[in-house]
């Protein structure tokens, strides 16, 4: 062996003195196990084949009993090593230095160059050998089972035209079956028989084996439907949320604080629904962004001014599902996810063999990726049960994998081929998606009066808890204007000293607990945003506490095409201000949106705010009752697992001899004929209003122009020649193709296009060459997500 030089000896001595017992244990395991295995197995290590490692076990010479003996010897040897390691770990740096010197000298006599690298390689080889030995044992036992089951142990790969992929799948299994432990979990042991059993009974690529016992296992008893009963006691929910993360503590504090309002909302909704039967659903909530596997960058920042919007929404989703009376399971780790779903251990290459144990799964994009990794082929089968909480929305052109790839819409977040309504947003900005939302605390009349009496007319609070939000260029100019009229307050987090980004005239309170922040907002007259963060819950909370929200208008609007924050997000939506919902759905006098770069406009807005008196205002859809309504309606009516029947049906002319669209009274829009039986649909077709957009206009804008909302569920009813004919569209030719703006027509070329791919029905799509057919609907007052007859 090569002896170490003097510097090397000194390094070894230092390493030994500072080695922790665990490190000594790793060295001992790697080195002594290797020596023992090489001497015990002897000739069973072979490198005769070109490319074999000296540490590769030849499976054909290692028998079952012999292997068990080797493993037993390894176990005995490891016990001796552990005793020696325990002695070594008790050595002291001072009193036992002589013994360390002796050990260092002994090691230096046989220590080769590259000690650490070789030990790592040895440890990896030992681990691989242990896995291989276990697989050999399984192979041996499986061979015995095959003889007992009546097979010869040699299974011929069938060439059945009904299963054309079987031979190639068997070849793949021969080469890759050790790539994922899930194959061994299902009994694969390296033999062709086990491959064919797996590919015919777990997957579906090969025909059933005639020598196998094909009696079906007893069908699990299905319990009848249970009624969902409203809950008002949240103690069980708080236990399920768990502990161990500051993010979870924040969510639990929020659930406790709003518990009484949730209880009141539950009683109101129960009365509104007239205590009708509601199916209780088995629901899994997997909060992917809080798992350690996704990095969980949010939890450490909860107490440092980090973003809380996602945690606010998830806390409210959990509470809504629980209060509605559903059977709820909560997962905040991949291990919990695997346990709840019953996925086989491994890397997700194998499918689930049983039914999905949940009716619905609520998760986010991180959780969706984790489910793909661990559910493998099963995700495609069960993805209709999934609901994805998606703050900024996912448009159909980005959701369809093939279309997104071919037409430049591919991003890191889209391409899941879900029904676009399975994505659930924080605000109702993308009608293609479902609007989930969150809640703000609702004030009673007494509290509203007290707020109005105690308002300080010249007090402003800045929206921005992190110092980075105050780095906006040009802020000094409009903050000086604001300071001329008002006392400016901030709630910026800091540890030891005041953040330099915050001007000296700003009274900074530091990061405040929620109740103290509310007290500050109840005194302030103005809540001002700097342009970031986008679309958070704080402006709604400020408006609910009697503030006027002043925000910047963006010229041009921010989008994935021109702004780094939105780049890579699966949407082309243009954001016209910091909070478009507040601008469009609330508006003046509670919300003022101005150009902050125009000093005169900004100055006039501040003076107008000081003159304006407003009452605390909260949109109904952001109350506990409003959110319960939405979630209840989605759970009871949205079913993406049942395929939509073709429309119009083959015998449409017999069913509707005079057509099913009529011009609505006092309107140019078309609606469903009241004397025609409508096919099943949610929302019901009685809410449909069909109109035509302008060139270059999306259906979102076209419907909003008519005081309506675009409804993607209705596209399949208007994607036909009759709709074009009733709208008096001149078509020289009608083509069906994959295009996210179809159904649409070109006036100039007299070309009409129908949608070929239902997943591409899109409210958001637009093209300057086309006018679109837009399916719009009405909506409940204060509840844009639901039509008047949707509840």
Rounded-to-10 torsion of CA 744, 749, 750, 752: -30
Give residue 396's pLDDT. 97
Query: Which H or E run includes 128?
Result: helix 115-148
Query: Which H or E run includes 117?
Result: helix 115-148
Measured at the alpha carbon of residue 388, what is the angle toward residues 383 and 393, in degrees to the nearest 5?
A: 125
Per-residue pLDDT tens digits for 568-580: 999 999 999 999 9
Give residue 75's pLDDT. 52
For 556, phi then psi, to 5°, come to -80, 170
Q: Of 346, 443, 340, which is closest to residue 385 (Cα–Cα)?
A: 340
Lowest mean pLDDT among 80-84, 170-174, 665-669: 80-84
Q: What mean pLDDT do residues 65-86 have?
A: 50
Per-residue pLDDT tens digits for 250-261: 999 999 999 999
Lowest mean pLDDT among 500-504, 585-589, 705-709: 500-504
Give residue 306's pLDDT. 79
Give residue 112's pLDDT. 44
* Average per-residue pLDDT for the chain: 83
Q: What mean pLDDT do residues 693-713 have?
A: 96
Q: How confident is the model at residue 639 (pLDDT cuts 50, 70, 90)?
A: very high
| Contact in structure between 331 and 638 (CB atoms under 8 Å) | no
Per-residue pLDDT tens digits for 128-155: 555 555 555 554 454 445 444 444 457 8
Residue position matching structure tokens 């260092």: 104
Per-residue pLDDT tens digits for 714-746: 999 999 999 999 999 999 989 999 999 999 999
Q: Of 408, 430, 424, 435, which is closest to residue 764 (Cα–Cα)?
A: 430
| Contact in structure between 357 and 392 (CB atoms under 8 Å) | no
Q: Which residues are registered as beta bridge partners of 709?
A: 777
Lowest mean pLDDT among 162-176, 217-231, 472-486: 217-231
Q: What mean pLDDT do residues 257-269 have?
A: 97
CA dist., res. 181 & res. 344, Å (int): 9
76 Cβ contact partners less than 8 Å away, ≥ 6 residues apart: none
Q: Higher pLDDT residue, 1 or 658?
A: 658
Q: Count of residues for the chain? A: 791
| Contact in structure between 467 and 499 (CB atoms under 8 Å) | yes
Give residue 351's pLDDT. 87
Give residue 163's pLDDT. 95
Rounded-to-10 torsion of CA 297, 302, 304, 310: 70
Query: Which H or E run includes 409?
Result: none
With b meaning 16 or more CB within 10 Å and e meaning fewer, what string describes 460-490?
A: bbbbbbbbebbebeebeebbebbeebbbbbb
Measured at the alpha carbon of residue 775, what is the angle toward residues 773 and 777, in degrees to the nearest 5?
A: 150
Give residue 303's pLDDT. 85
- Per DSSP, the residues of 708-738 read -EE-GGGHHHHSSHHHHHHTT---SEEEEE-
Per-residue pLDDT tens digits for 9-59: 444 444 443 444 444 444 455 544 444 444 444 433 333 333 333 223 333
Q: What mean pLDDT do residues 582-586 have?
A: 96
- Residue 393, SS3 per DSSP: coil
Q: Is the peptide bond prior to 519 cis by the omega test (within 30 degrees of 0)?
A: no
Q: Of 749, 757, 680, 678, which is closest to residue 719 (Cα–Cα)?
A: 757
Q: What percent of the chain has pLDDT over 70?
A: 78
| Contact in structure between 486 and 506 (CB atoms under 8 Å) | no
Give residue 677's pLDDT. 85
Q: What mean pLDDT do residues 553-560 have?
A: 94
Lowest mean pLDDT among 76-80, 344-348, 593-597: 76-80
For 777, phi then psi, to 5°, come to -150, 165
Give residue 105's pLDDT. 46
Give residue 460's pLDDT. 97
Give residue 521's pLDDT. 97
User: Dihedral of CA 299/302/303/307: which sign?
Assistant: positive
Lowest mean pLDDT among 39-43, 766-770, 777-781: 39-43
450 Cβ contact partners less than 8 Å away, ≥ 6 residues apart: none
Give residue 129's pLDDT. 54
């Amino acid at each position: 062996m090569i002896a170490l030089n003097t510097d090397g000896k000194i390094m070894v001595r230092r390493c030994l003195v500072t080695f922790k017992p665990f490190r000594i244990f790793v060295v001992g395991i790697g080195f002594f196990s290797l020596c023992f295995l090489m001497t015990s197995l002897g000739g069973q290590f072979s490198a005769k084949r070109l490319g074999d490692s000296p540490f590769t076990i030849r499976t054909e010479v290692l028998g079952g009993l012999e292997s068990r003996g080797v493993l037993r010897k390894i176990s005995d040897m490891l016990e001796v090593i552990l005793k020696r390691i325990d002695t070594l770990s008790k050595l002291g740096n001072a009193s036992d230095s002589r013994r360390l010197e002796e050990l260092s000298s002994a090691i230096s006599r046989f220590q080769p160059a590259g000690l650490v690298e070789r030990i790592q390689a040895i440890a990896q080889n030992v681990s691989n050998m242990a896995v291989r030995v276990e697989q050999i044992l399984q192979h041996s036992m499986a061979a015995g089972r095959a003889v007992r089951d009546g097979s010869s142990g040699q299974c011929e790969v069938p060439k059945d035209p009904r299963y054309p992929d079987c031979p190639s799948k068997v070849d793949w299994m021969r080469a890759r079956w050790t790539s994922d432990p899930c194959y061994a979990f299902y009994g694969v042991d390296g033999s062709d028989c086990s491959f064919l059993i797996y590919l015919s009974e777990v997957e579906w690529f090969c025909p059933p084996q005639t020598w196998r016992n094909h009696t079906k296992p007893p069908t699990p008893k299905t319990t009848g439907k249970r009624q969902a009963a409203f809950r008002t006691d949240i103690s069980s929910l708080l236990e399920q949320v768990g502990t161990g993360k500051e993010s979870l503590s924040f969510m639990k504090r929020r659930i406790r604080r709003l518990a009484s309002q949730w209880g009141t909302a539950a009683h109101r909704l129960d009365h509104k629904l007239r205590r009708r039967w509601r199916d209780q659903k088995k629901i899994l909530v997997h909060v992917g962004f809080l798992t350690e596997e996704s990095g969980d960058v949010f939890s450490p920042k909860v107490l440092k001014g980090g973003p809380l919007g996602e945690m606010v929404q998830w806390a409210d989703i959990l509470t809504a599902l629980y209060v509605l009376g559903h059977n709820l399971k909560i997962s905040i780790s991949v291990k919990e996810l695997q346990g709840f779903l019953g996925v086989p251990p491994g890397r997700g290459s194998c499918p689930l063999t049983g039914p999905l144990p949940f009716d619905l799964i609520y998760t986010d994009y991180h959780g969706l990726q984790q489910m793909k990794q661990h559910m493998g082929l099963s995700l495609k089968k069960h993805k209709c049960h999934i609901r994805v909480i998606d703050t900024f929305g996912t448009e159909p052109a980005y959701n369809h994998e093939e279309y997104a790839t071919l037409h430049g819409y591919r991003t890191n977040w889209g391409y899941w081929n879900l029904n676009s309504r399975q994505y659930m947003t924080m605000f109702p900005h993308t009608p293609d998606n479902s609007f989930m939302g969150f809640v703000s605390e609702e004030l009673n009349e007494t509290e509203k009066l007290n707020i109005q009496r105690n308002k300080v007319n010249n007090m402003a609070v800045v929206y921005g808890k992190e110092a980075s939000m105050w780095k906006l260029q040009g802020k000094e100019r409009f903050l000086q204007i604001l300071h001329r009229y008002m006392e400016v307050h901030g709630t910026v987090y800091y540890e030891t000293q005041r953040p330099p980004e915050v001007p000296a005239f700003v009274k900074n309170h530091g990061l405040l607990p929620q109740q103290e922040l509310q007290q500050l907002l109840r005194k302030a007259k103005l809540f001002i945003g700097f342009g970031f963060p986008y679309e958070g819950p704080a402006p709604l909370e400020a408006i609910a506490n009697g503030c006027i929200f002043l925000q910047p208008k963006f010229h041009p609007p921010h989008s994935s095409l021109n702004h780094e924050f939105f780049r890579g997000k699966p949407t082309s939506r243009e954001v016209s201000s910091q909070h478009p919902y507040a601008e469009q759905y609330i508006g003046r006098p509670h919300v003022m949106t101005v150009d902050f770069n125009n000093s005169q406009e900004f100055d006039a807005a501040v003076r107008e705010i000081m003159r304006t008196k407003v009452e605390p205002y909260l949109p109904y859809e952001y109350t506990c009752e409003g959110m319960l309504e939405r979630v209840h309606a989605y759970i009871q009516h949205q079913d993406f697992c049942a395929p939509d029947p073709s429309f119009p049906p083959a015998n449409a002319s017999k069913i509707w001899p005079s057509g099913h669209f009529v011009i609505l009274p006092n309107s140019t829009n078309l609606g469903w004929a009241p004397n025609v039986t409508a096919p099943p649909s949610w929302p019901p077709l009685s809410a449909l209003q069909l109109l035509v957009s302008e060139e270059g206009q999306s259906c979102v804008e076209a419907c909003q122009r008519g005081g309506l909302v675009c409804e993607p569920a209705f596209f399949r009813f208007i994607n036909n020649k009759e709709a074009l004919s009733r709208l008096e569209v001149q078509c020289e030719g009608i083509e069906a193709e994959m295009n996210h703006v179809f159904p649409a027509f070109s006036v100039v070329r007299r070309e009409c296009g129908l949608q070929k791919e239902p997943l591409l029905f899109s409210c958001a799509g637009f093209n300057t060459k086309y006018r679109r057919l837009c399916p719009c609907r009405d909506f409940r007052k204060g509840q844009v997500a639901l039509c008047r007859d949707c509840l």
